[in-house]
Amino acid sequence: MKAGRNNQKKLVFYLIWVLFIFTGIASADDGKAESGDTTIILMKLLKAVEDYDYDNFVADGSAVFKAGITKQMFEGVCAQLSPRMKKGYDKTYLGRLNQQGCHVYLWKLQFNDAKDDILAKLVLKDGGLAGFWLQ
């Protein structure tokens, strides 16, 4: 039982390493404050996780993205996070990093259940979404 629980935790903390590129989403911030555009992207992805909405989660993704996270993998993450999200959470923008030609946006997700916080990491490159992690 413990091994299964550890695998589920790994799924939540390490699985959503989703690498993909798509067009149509641009970031217009200067890196000093949270951008409305990046918040919209983040909230769309988080809402899809909360609602077990795989189709919406991958809607803007390329074939590489869709191959990178299967519906089964996605549902495993949802099973871990959705119940916590439905009880409420706050997001706090932590800042932006420049890494390997990408803009990396970080948020702290603090849940009302007072259990572990999650780091949300959104990566944009060339005006498109290049990655998303929940750790």
Verdict on whether the full-model pTM lies above 0.95: no
3-class DSSP assignment, residue 16:
coil
Phi, psi of 129 (to 5 degrees): -75, 125
Q: What is the pLDDT of residue 12?
A: 42
Q: What is the pLDDT of residue 129?
A: 72
Structural element, H or E, at residue 47: helix 36-50
**Cα Rg for the chain, rounded, in angstroms?**
14
Q: What is the pLDDT of residue 2?
A: 56
Residues 6+ apart with CB under 8 A from 67: none
Q: What is the pLDDT of residue 5?
A: 58
Query: Which CATH number covers residue 88?
Result: 3.10.450.590
Task: Provide the number of structural domains found in the chain.
Answer: 1
Question: Which residues, given as ranges, of the chain have pLDDT below 70?
Answer: 1-35, 60-66, 127
Say if CB 73 and CB 15 are below 8 A apart: yes
- Residue 34 lies in domain: 2-134
